Structure 1
Amino acid sequence: MLTLSLIGIGCGDPGQLTRAAVAAINAADFVLIPRKGSAKSDLADLRRTICADVLSNQATRIAEFDLPVRDAAEADYRKGVDDWHDAVAASWSRTIADRLGSEGKVALLIWGDPSLYDSSLRIARRLNPLPHIEVIPGITSIQALCAAHALPLNDIGEPFLVTTGRRLREGGWPSGVDTVVVMLDGGTAFQSLDPEGLQIWWGAYLGMPDQIVMSGVLAEVGPHIVAMRQEARERHGWIMDSYILKRRP
C-alpha cells in the first residue's frame, strides 16, 4: 500500500517540529520538496534545512519537483483553484509514481498545519491511485503570530473569526465578532476598513530568521505596516504574512 504523510512543520523554525513530525519524516521512503519558482525559493531552502536538521534515517531520500502555477487571471476564482488543484494532484501522482510506484511511504512537509488554509488534503484525495493518507499536525501561523506578540487570541468567552484578505476586502468587518484573524492577504485588506477603534497585530515570515512583527492602533501603525510590507516583499521577492484585528469600544 502507498501511504502519503502530510506533516505539519510549523512556520520555518526546526524547533517547532513535534516529535511525531520528526518520526514521520524519518519513517518515509521519500520526502518530497515542492519548488514554487525562484520567488519563493526560501521556502524550499527551509524545507531542505529542516530535513538536514532532523533526518537520521540514511534510507530516507529527498526528491524535489516543480509545482504548477495557478492562473491568477481566471475570472471564476473557485474554478481557477479547482483546475490548479487538479494540476498539482497530477504533478504529485507523477512524482510519487516515478519514485515509489504503488508501494511505500512518501512524506510532504506542509507549511504550518494541513488543517488551516492549506489545500494539501483536498489535493491528496485527487491522487491516482488514491493512497492511504495520514496527517501529522503542526504549529499554525496563527499560533506563531499570537506567540510572537504574546497575545491571547480570544477575549474571555468571546468567539473569533478566521478569514482571508479577499473576503475582508469584499465583505467588510464580519458581523458577530470583535476579533478577526486575516490570512492569505495578497495586499493590505485592512486598509479597506474604517480604522476607528481597531487594533492590529501583524507578522511576516513568522518563525523564520527574517521574522517581522508590528502592532498598535490601526490608524497609527497601518501606514507603517504597508510601507514595511512593500519593502520586505521587494527585498525577498515574496512575502507571507498574517494579522489579527480587534475591535475595541
Structure 2
Amino acid sequence: MPRQLVLIGIGTGNPEHLTVEGINALERADVLFVPTKGEEKAALAAVRREIVARYRTRPLNTIEFALPVRDTANVDYKAGVVGWHAEISAQYAAMIGAMGPDETGALLVWGDPGLYDSTLRILDCVRGEGIAFSMKVVPGITALQALTAAFAIPLNTIGNPVTITTGRKLLHGWPDGADSVVVMLDGQKSFAKLDSEGLHIWWGAYVGMEQQMLIEGPLADVAEKIALARDHARAEHGWIMDVYLLRRV
C-alpha cells in the first residue's frame, strides 16, 4: 500500500474532544507531524503532546517543524495566503516524501479539517508536486459546536439558515438576508463596527480549554466588554482563539 496521511480533528483545545475514531487513528500512525513555531503554535503543540501522552499506548515518532510566518504586510490578502501555503506545501512535501512506502503519517488538526483550515488545500498542492500518498480525514469537534455547547444554545433558529464568515468579511457589513451569523478569525474585532441595533452576541475564547472565556448579551451592551477582554487575554497568554455567534432578535 502507498504511504498514507491521516488528518485527525482534535477539537478546540480540550483533549477529551478527541473521538474514538481519532484515538484509533492516532494509535495506528507511524509518525506524527507537529508545527511549533510562534507562541500560538507552541501552545497548540503542547495540546497535541498532551493528546499523544493521554491516548497513545506505545512510543510514537514525532517530527516537530517550524511553520513559516505569513507576510501580513502584503496588501493583496489572497496572494499573501497563496504564497504562504506554497512555503508550507514545500515543507510537507519533504516530510511526506521521507516517509517509508508503507508508513502512515498523522496531523492533529485544530477543530475540524474541513472548516476554516487550509491543511487539505495545502496537501492538494503537495500531490501536485508529484508526492504520492493516500489521505484519510477523521472529523473533529468544530469551534461552532464547542461555542453553542458552552452556552447551551442552538446554532440556528427554526427553519432558518446560518451564515459562517470571517471578521474580514464582516467589516463590509451584515450579510444580506442573514438571521444567524457565526464569525471566525476576527482579529480586527469587527463586531464592534456593526450597527448593533437588534443584535445579540455569544462570544467565546479558548472554548473548551481551562482558560475558557464566555460573554453574551445585546451587542450594544457587551461589545466594549468583549473587546477589552479579548485584548487582555491576548496580552496575558500571547495568543487567542475566539469565535462568536451573532443573531437578530
**Per-residue deviation, 1:96:** 2.9
Verify the 8 A CA contact 2:35 2:41 in the aligned structure 1. no
Verify the 8 A CA contact 2:40 2:240 in the aligned structure 1. no
Rounded to whole Å, the distance in 2 between the matches of 1:47 and 1:84 is 23
Matches within 5 A, 1:230-241: 230-241=231-242
**Per-residue deviation, 1:4:** 0.7
Extract unaligned runs of 5+ from structure 1: none
1:21 aligns with 2:22: yes
Rounded to whole Å, the distance in 1 between the matches of 2:101 and 2:190 is 45
Question: What does residue 117 of structure 2 align with?
Answer: 118
Fraction of identical pairs, as percent: 49
Rounded to whole Å, the distance in 2 between the matches of 1:101 and 1:75 is 41
Rounded to whole Å, the distance in 2 between the matches of 1:6 and 1:142 is 19
Verify the 8 A CA contact 1:4 1:133 in the aligned structure 2. yes
1:108 aligns with 2:107: yes
**What's the Cα RMSD here?**
1.2
**Per-residue deviation, 1:120:** 0.6
Question: What does residue 161 of structure 2 align with?
Answer: 159
Q: Which amino acid aligns with 1:227?
A: L
Question: What does residue 212 of structure 1 align with?
Answer: 213
Could you say what secondary structure the match of 1:210 adopts?
A: coil
Superposed CA deviations along residues 182-221 of structure 1, whole A, max 9, x for unmatched, are: 0011121011111111100000011111111110011111
1:74 aligns with 2:80: no
Extract unaligned runs of 5+ from structure 2: none
Rounded to whole Å, the distance in 1 between the matches of 2:220 and 2:63 is 47
Could you say what secondary structure the match of 2:125 adopts?
A: coil
Superposed CA deviations along residues 72-100 of structure 1, whole A, max 9, x for unmatched, are: 111211111111111111111222334x2
Could you say what secondary structure the match of 2:221 adopts?
A: helix
Moved more, 121-130 or 81-90: 121-130
Rounded to whole Å, the distance in 2 between the matches of 1:95 and 1:7 is 17
Question: What does residue 146 of structure 1 align with?
Answer: 148
**Per-residue deviation, 1:148:** 0.6
Question: What does residue 193 of structure 2 align with?
Answer: 192
Q: Which amino acid aligns with 2:79?
A: K
The normalised TM-score by structure 2 is 0.95
**Per-residue deviation, 1:139:** 0.3
Question: What does residue 89 of structure 1 align with?
Answer: 89
**Per-residue deviation, 1:14:** 1.3
Superposed CA deviations along residues 41-93 of structure 1, whole A, max 9, x for unmatched, are: 211111111111111133x3211111111111112111111111111111112
Q: Which amino acid aligns with 2:169?
A: R
Rounded to whole Å, the distance in 1 between the matches of 2:178 and 2:21 is 35
Verify the 8 A CA contact 1:113 1:137 in the aligned structure 2. yes
Q: Which amino acid aligns with 1:94?
A: A
Rounded to whole Å, the distance in 2 between the matches of 1:226 and 1:92 is 36
